[in-house]
Chains A and B, each alone.
Chain A
């Protein structure tokens, strides 16, 4: 008695502490994710510590990351295309400087570097230069730093190119990744939902008890297989199959991804919708049969409508599983950010991008932050999905 009075409050506070601390940890993770992700916005797409300059007389005073990339890819070669005078663009960075000046001219410790740049820039009215800010800031009279549009949420979402490592200005448009993710996931659901629903109806309404007792655990077991195994299976079986069926140069396509993700989402869809189907009261099925409806009519007109909110929840959960899936997507989708993404071409999904690029992105750099911003986006998408599930299941109870 005595001991009980003593231990109970201890256990109670222990449980409380566990609850609070795990909740706190989850919050911390989210805060961390968003802190990193949000610091991405507002930064400049130009490599850190560098500045871009144009000749002081050049009327063009600001450029976008996309325009800079086009210039350095030599897609744009004349200032006219950027709203300036009709003169060719001379790209100009430390490499060119090394060719134009001797080591003596530059000085032993590059102490004359700003002067060299200044004189060289002065002679080239059409130049677009790219130099370390420390060497040039305020020291070059003939050139003015060009304003480069900062990365904004709007641009991040609407830019259609993902070249996070391109120099001098990275392009970080999430559009191809987002569309790729959505394409792969929704097509996966289009494949998985009818199959899953059919399997669920079979298990809940048609299969006899012995078959059900065997199949249900097997299907639940499928949910526990690690995704890398599904990815491996996809790579060995689905990818070659897609390639030969559609006569494609590569089999790693959005379609292959959708098929693998569909297989992965099936167990969730089957179990959740089967549970929903089984909640249909027997009295309701009997009422339908007693009116002369066939078993099939009863399933179609009474059982499935009765379970519709559970089935919707199953579909949304399946989509959630597909959207967040990393490993299998990475292994079978081909990972190229083609715009617009199509089914029979390689695509790149958001989680696969994070997994593939995080290792090579310098810690704390722009690319690193961009990947966190992708993480935030993914978090928001899955949050919306869970909210939807909650709303749909809440409806079922009412």
Chain B
């Protein structure tokens, strides 16, 4: 399988703080990769490399290469960044719907990308809301404000929103951390289903979840990538002591 995403010796500094230390990692196409590690180890920072979200934070310095389909996404023209972000969807740690209606939240990505065909937008909204297992709950109140939804519903709305523009990569930063077990289960099913079409990277603190949904797992610690391998391998016979300590809960 070809590598969809790859980082080569990436270092990231927030001002003086060295947050990512020489990370090299290749992520195969149409796979699910879980990033695990203790809080503050750089998982979110690493994830945000792929849609250049770290660019928005002043005083960040990035070295090394970040490749998508073999092309360095930090070498593209700044006018192409919007396009890059269109192909890399993101679901954030906390649900962050727009102060708009449920429908408009999902349609937003289509509209800002110049799509004005209303029947296409309507179809796409329904399709992605179904994918995110939210359609049945909201189909009668699409005009209502997204803020009226529960936290779990909002997170599934944000997933639908990310899917609507049909990216090729989906970045998920602890998408289920605010959800109940039932919603979490629904999202895990969804990830499983999406794997056929997308390349997914998911940050999670939940070891069972990483074990259930992912093909590959990377363990981060203090800005270093300690170990990256097939999920089965990481969870049954990790090659590094730190990894073993972390996944067995003997860590920190």
Contacts and interface: CB of A to CB of B under 8 A. Distances in A.
B51 interface: yes
Interface in B33-80: 51, 53, 56, 58
B240 interface: no
B96 A289 contact: no
A301 B51 CA distance: 21
B96 to A, nearest CB: 4
Nearest to B85: A292
A362 interface: no
A291 B108 contact: yes
Chain A interface size, as a band, is 20 to 34
A284 interface: yes
A288 interface: yes
A210 to B, nearest CB: 11
Given A283-B92, A286-B56, A292 B98 contact: no
Contacts of A282: 56
B53 A290 contact: yes
Contact of A293 (B82, B94, B97): B82
Interface residues of B, number: 26
B90 interface: yes
A388 interface: no
A287 B92 contact: yes
B218 interface: no
A292 to B, nearest CB: 3
B191 interface: no
A292 B97 CA distance: 15
B97 to A, nearest CB: 8
A287 B58 contact: no
Interface string A259-291: 000000000000000000000011111111111
Max chain B Cβ within 10 angstroms of own Cβ: one of A287, A291, A302: A291
A187 interface: no
Interface string A297-341: 100011001100000000000000000000000000000000000
A290 B89 contact: yes
Interface stretch (B23-31, B157-165, B201-209, B226-234): B157-165
B58 A209 contact: yes
A123 interface: no
B113 interface: yes
A286 B52 CA distance: 11
B165 A292 contact: yes
A286 B53 contact: yes
A1 to B, nearest CB: 46
B85 A283 contact: no
A286 B109 contact: no
Contacts of B113: 291-292
Contacts of A284: 96, 98-99
Contacts of B1: none
A303 to B, nearest CB: 10
A306 B96 CA distance: 13
Given A209-B58, A286-B56, A292 B83 contact: yes
Contacts of A74: none
B112 interface: yes
A289 B108 contact: no
A152 interface: no
A244 interface: no
B158 A287 contact: yes
Contacts of B162: 290-291
Contacts of B86: 291-292
B45 to A, nearest CB: 14
B56 A294 contact: no
Given A209-B58, A284-B96, A302-B98, A291 B165 contact: yes
B92 A286 contact: yes
Given A292-B85, A293-B112, A301-B112, A287 B96 contact: yes
B108 A283 contact: no
A291 B85 CA distance: 6
Given A292-B109, A293-B82, A283 B165 contact: no
Given A209-B58, A292-B113, A286 B83 contact: no
Interface in A162-186: none
A351 to B, nearest CB: 38
Interface in B95-129: 96-100, 108-109, 112-113
A307 to B, nearest CB: 10
Max chain B Cβ within 10 angstroms of own Cβ: one of A209, A285, A287, A297: A287
Contacts of B108: 288, 291, 293, 301
B95 to A, nearest CB: 9
B112 A297 contact: yes
30 contacts: A281-B96, A284-B98, A284-B99, A285-B56, A286-B53, A287-B90, A287-B92, A287-B96, A287-B98, A287-B158, A287-B161, A288-B108, A289-B53, A289-B85, A290-B85, A290-B92, A291-B89, A291-B112, A291-B162, A292-B85, A292-B112, A292-B165, A293-B82, A293-B108, A293-B112, A294-B82, A297-B112, A301-B98, A301-B112, A302-B98
Listed from nearest, the 8 A-B pairs whose CB atoms lie closest are A292-B86, A291-B109, A283-B96, A293-B112, A290-B90, A292-B85, A287-B96, A297-B112
Given A284-B98, A287-B158, A305-B99, 10 more contacts: A208-B58, A283-B92, A287-B97, A288-B98, A288-B108, A289-B85, A290-B162, A291-B85, A292-B85, A302-B99
Interface of B: 51, 53, 56, 58, 82-83, 85-86, 88-90, 92, 94, 96-100, 108-109, 112-113, 158, 161-162, 165
